[in-house]
């Protein structure tokens, strides 16, 4: 009887085809894994290159050495910061404006909210950072108070009160990644370098607006 020589050849081809198919599948899986890792790395690289970081910093003199209290929000990150909300607290109490704050903490004189010539009120400048975009390295002042003979008492009180002030700021990157951070005038306090990631910035109950 003549042996069927085609059978071994069939099995050899079958295992060869299976081996090549498995190798191709393995290479495809590796390529897919590398592609996913590369995409993830690229996304992290883009996020890192657009990362903002908002802080509050206080100066007590001008660059020329003239005494002046200036409260600033500074973007020390590498990407633009969209300031969605900003809150200012003194001894845990929120304030809507610099005038309201300095009146409560430090004896600022106001008469029905009107600025009177010759009063210590005339030397107070206030502003808002909420709704602004700060570029990397850019700062925006929200309280400026100059030292003069007529403002010295309030100036000293404000300089002392700033140690009891805290802030809460929520900001987003150009990629709409958002962070919320509780800040203090004392930058050495723990936690300020680890802002909380949030999907969107909540609307504060009492926002600092001017």
For the chain, give the mean pLDDT: 82
pLDDT at 49 (0 to 100): 79
Number of residues that this document lists for the chain: 210
In this predicted model, what pLDDT tens digit does every residue of 144-193 receive, in sequence order? 999 999 899 999 999 999 999 999 999 999 999 999 999 987 766 766 88
pLDDT at 118 (0 to 100): 47
The pTM of this model reads 0.76
> Rounded mean pLDDT of 117-132?
78
pLDDT at 28 (0 to 100): 67
Higher pLDDT, 7 or 108: 108
């Amino acid at each position: 009887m003549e042996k069927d020589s085609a059978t071994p050849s069939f099995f050899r081809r079958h295992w060869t085809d299976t081996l090549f198919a498995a190798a191709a599948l393995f290479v495809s899986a590796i390529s897919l894994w590398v592609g996913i890792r590369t995409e993830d790395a690229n996304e992290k690289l883009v996020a890192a290159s657009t990362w903002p970081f908002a802080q509050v910093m206080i100066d007590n003199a001008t660059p020329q050495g003239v005494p002046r209290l200036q409260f600033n929000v500074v973007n020390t990150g590498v990407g633009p910061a969209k300031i969605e909300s900003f809150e200012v607290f003194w001894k845990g109490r929120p304030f809507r404006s610099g005038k309201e704050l300095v009146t409560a903490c430090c004896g600022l004189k106001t008469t029905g909210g009107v600025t009177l010539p010759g009063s210590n009120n005339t030397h107070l400048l206030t502003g808002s950072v909420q709704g602004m975009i700060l570029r990397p390295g850019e700062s925006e002042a929200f309280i400026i108070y100059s030292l003069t003979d007529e403002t010295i008492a309030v100036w000293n009180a404000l300089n002392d009160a700033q140690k009891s002030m805290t802030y809460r700021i929520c900001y987003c990157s150009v990629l709409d990644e958002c962070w919320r951070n509780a800040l203090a005038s004392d930058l050495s306090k723990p936690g300020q370098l680890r802002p909380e990631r949030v999907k969107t910035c909540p609307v504060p109950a009492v926002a600092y607006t001017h």
